Each structure stands twice: as structure tokens, then as C-alpha cells.
Amino acid sequence: MLSVARYGTRDLEGATRFYDAITGLLGGARVMNRPEVVAYRGPNGGMFLVGTPFAGEATAGNGTQVGFEAPSRAAIDAVHAKALELGGKCEGPPGVRGPDPDGFYAAYLRDLDGNKFMVFRMGPT
């Protein structure tokens, strides 16, 4: 259903380094690089953008979150580790959420600007 999402940043260079590494682990790639915004396309065609706001300073939204679908649970674990290595913050370690061990597996993180995102997979290992 959702095909594009965007976050603001106060440091586009740092955000680009962060999301280059994260999206690469999920099978995505940077497809646009402009002075004010970079864009990534995932393997299923969805787009994620990060850039400087059109007006004012970038702030993390209270209750805002973007989800990135992962190809495997191992990819979620790798994204979590890489995000922390790059200065991101853990908001919930990788693991099963809910009673079904073959159901929803996710990790919750914040990027360098404090934007919250999750990496998830539905289904068994």
C-alpha cells in the first residue's frame, strides 16, 4: 500500500552514510542524490527519501515511524548491529513480537536525527 516515505535530517552527509549501509543490507540502493535529498529504492519498488526540510529545521516526529521490510531475520539482525555501529539507537532489539514464533520478527531503532524506524519480516525464519 505505502510506496514512499521521507524523513528530514540536519546532516544529509551523515544520514546518507547511515542509510546507504542500512538499505544495502535490505537489498535496496540509492537511486537519487541531490544537494538537498537522497532517495533509495527497495527491491519491491518502494521509495525512501531523507533530506533537508523545505522550511525550518528537521525534527523527529513524535509517534512517527517508517518500516523497512527485510528479506530474512538475519538481515534484521545485521541492520540492527550496523545501525548501532553507525551511531543509531536501539528502541527494541531484534526478536519475535507476539505469540507466534513464526510470525512477526522486528527490531526498532532511531537514526542519527532521532527518527524512529523498524525493520521487520512476517513469517518463519
Please report, for the domain that includes residue 107, its CATH number: 3.10.180.10
Predicted confidence band of residue 5 (pLDDT cuts 50, 70, 90): very high
In Å, what is the CA distance from 108 to each residue of 3, 56, 68, 117? 20, 27, 10, 6
C-alpha 121/C-alpha 74 separation (Å) is 10
Q: Is residue 60 within 8 Å of residue 50, measured between CB atoms?
A: no
Question: Amino acid letter at 39?
Answer: A
Query: What is the model's pLDDT at position 33?
Result: 97
Examine residue 118 and state whether it is found in any structural domain, yes or no: yes
Q: Tell me: the pLDDT tens digits for 59-110?
A: 998 899 999 999 999 999 999 999 999 999 999 999 999 999 999 999 999 9
Burial of 97 (0-12, 13-18, 19+ CB in 10 A): middle
Query: What is the model's pLDDT at position 1?
Result: 76
Q: Tell me: the pLDDT tens digits for 42-66?
A: 999 999 999 999 998 999 988 999 9
Average pLDDT, the chain: 96
Examine residue 32 and state whether it is found in any structural domain, yes or no: yes
Examine residue 34 and state whether it is found in any structural domain, yes or no: yes
Query: What is the model's pLDDT at position 119?
Result: 98
Examine residue 107 and state whether it is found in any structural domain, yes or no: yes
pTM across the whole model? 0.93
Domain that holds residue 82: 4-52+65-122
Give the residue-averaged pLDDT of 14-39: 97
Examine residue 89 and state whether it is found in any structural domain, yes or no: yes
Total number of domains constituting the chain = 1
